Structure 1
């Protein structure tokens, strides 16, 4: 029983990847001192019910996700504890939220639910660019979201310390070819990109 940090979303659909990119950046920049509370970082992607084991195993759960609040793009909103499953079910932005709401409710039913839960959500700007990446306003919000997340991790007893070196491929929470820098470097220029997506994934 420790802290689980979970990023959920789909990196292939622009701002939908916010949660995964937060966990990726957290791992790239920070390690966790053994003297503090144990921290597990998880790229939850769109796994839905397969995430139940991570939720049930956590004493405290920190979630990063893109959430449609109907607010200006890049706006962050923090939701805590029992409000999290209710909030995620109020306005579903994508199928992954349906699946994750079910995960939280199932964990509650089994009696294996974290003592504390914090959802740090970001209002997306664009979700319709297949093969696209985070928009600048959402990238900026990611930095603020990480700061908020680190503050909460410290309050929960974790001891984050800046990394001296980048994590190895074996440690990486995301597939190396989908890591943000590699993913953006491989995207075709605008004049070559298909307007309904990215030719790497969806031929015109």
Structure 2
């Protein structure tokens, strides 16, 4: 066990949280990264993998009094498109708030501020992010360049867990059902992206599968 790990009962409380909106192309990067992580590795009770989506303040109870929070998200770092970058500590809320590209980032910055104000902030916090190529393709999946970074982001998370916190997951021999453990199968990446019409047929101002349900 890492020297700086804190025990809560018999467990360390480490959360790997993917946030973002899968309806807006590269904004879904964090969600797809934790989906990939859960599909390829098994963790003990000291680590939880979670799709935080765009829940914002609803995540507050989940984040209170964590030892470690690792956030994965699409972030405007001002870097070249599809570049991965890691920041930690006080740089995390500053980075999220510096160039907001979506409403979920505004909400999550508020969550971090409330945790700090109430004295329940994570003891350690990390952000593994990617510079998006586009977030304007409604209903679209990840762009090719950003999709290629998903396994590399997962590797960065695994290195953080191993080197900083002494956590080494077990690789899965057989992948579980798509989305298992983090989301429903209907919105798992393969089902979602393969179920979308081609670019020639797709409604570019929205995903017709969503619009049809809303009556638009």
Q: TM-score range by the shorter chain?
A: over 0.9
Is the counterpart of residue 21 in structure 1 residue 32 in structure 2?
A: yes
Distance 1:93 1:150 in 2: 27
CA distances 1:58-79 after superposition (whole Å, capped 9, x unpaired): 2011000000122221011111
Measure how far apart 1:183 and its partner are. 0.5
RMSD: 1.7
Distance 1:133 1:73 in 2: 16
Identify the match of residue 57 of structure 2 among 46, 49, 52. 49
Measure how far apart 1:154 and its partner are. 1.1
Measure how far apart 1:9 and its partner are. 0.2
Residue 130 of structure 2 corresponds to which residue in structure 1? 122
| Unmatched segments (≥5 aa) in structure 2 | 1-11
Identify the match of residue 11 of structure 1 among 10, 22, 43. 22
Distance 1:112 1:165 in 2: 38
CA contact (8 A) 2:65 2:123 kept: no
Residue 174 of structure 2 corresponds to which residue in structure 1? 165
Instruction: Point out the more displaced range, 173-182 or 155-164.
Output: 155-164
Is the counterpart of residue 193 in structure 1 residue 198 in structure 2?
A: no
| Unmatched segments (≥5 aa) in structure 1 | none
Measure how far apart 1:54 and its partner are. 2.1
* TM-score, normalised by the number of residues in structure 2: 0.87
Distance 1:168 1:88 in 2: 32
Alignment of 1:1-204 (within 5 A): 1-32=12-43, 34=44, 38-155=46-163, 156-167=165-176, 171-202=180-211
Other structure's SS at 1:127 match: coil
